[in-house]
A = this chain, B = another copy of it.
């Protein structure tokens, strides 16, 4: 069986049934771009929803799929047996409604007229898609980083709709240090003259600011250890320092490359909105405490942390596990031993495969 991975579109929340957002604002109509892999069985109980991270998209499996090592025929999430759904988060720029979409009121891109959305809002939109697909209960919802935040919200907002929840390299809220990096990143975008208060033309985006945001991000996705191993202080194609302001070190060249590559595939306003949603995610603020947040959940959990992740630390994962245990929920905690920092959830195929496969096998 091959992977069916053409992109599909769900349209919903037409007037007067617009989405009620956490901010109190409304949004609609919306489009959700999604891909599916495998086949929904007759009892519709083999559906696995995958939630992507900050700059991800619906293309989770197949060629260039961002979690292809984990999802596909005979992989940990075996698409010969499971029906995998992955949708682009609202606010994004990969087919779902976001700030670069046309505002039906003006016929122009929303820009900053797009309402600020939250992780809960993303989940509410995904739930409409799952309803549309006729799936009463997801066999599993999973995600890493921001995807883990969505997975948690699924288990909390729609407890009867989720059998199992896998949260990878995530947290119940960002640390102030992570908030700080996001704030500076957004500042880099909005400081770029070309940003023009969010009204830049499609072909004249604030590339420099967005590249800086991405570079900052990349530093936080890697560990000091992996940077040492991969780059150290090695020079870029030269024997000695240049004694000018060109790129001297390989790490500089790597970041520049990552920044430049990113501006060709991501929208600057989406970066603002999605990073803001991540900043706002805070189970304690929304539900009173992490423990209270999970009170009515009705699924088993797998929480995975990465040993060298300093953006979403193992301690933050353990705090989630403690809250779940206090609520007597069924939870497995695992720490991936990896030098790769936060990025490890997209790299450590063997450990990830083993953990997710074992957990999914227990979901009946």
Contact = CB atoms under 8 A, between A and B. Distances in A.
Interface string A162-199: 00000000000111110111011011101111000000
A325 to B, nearest CB: 23
A224 to B, nearest CB: 5
A90 to B, nearest CB: 15
Interface stretch (A47-55, A137-145, A146-154, A272-280): A272-280
Contacts of A276: 245
Given A187-B212, A191-B209, A180 B255 contact: yes
Contacts of A247: 183
A25 B243 CA distance: 10
A215 interface: yes
Contact of A243 (B23, B180, B192, B243): B23
Given A115-B243, A176-B233, 4 more contacts: A175-B224, A176-B231, A176-B249, A183-B247
A268 interface: no
A215 B187 contact: yes
Contacts of A249: 176, 179, 183, 279
A227 interface: yes
Contact of A183 (B222, B228, B252): B252
A343 interface: no
Contacts of A356: none
Contacts of A177: 219, 222, 224, 227
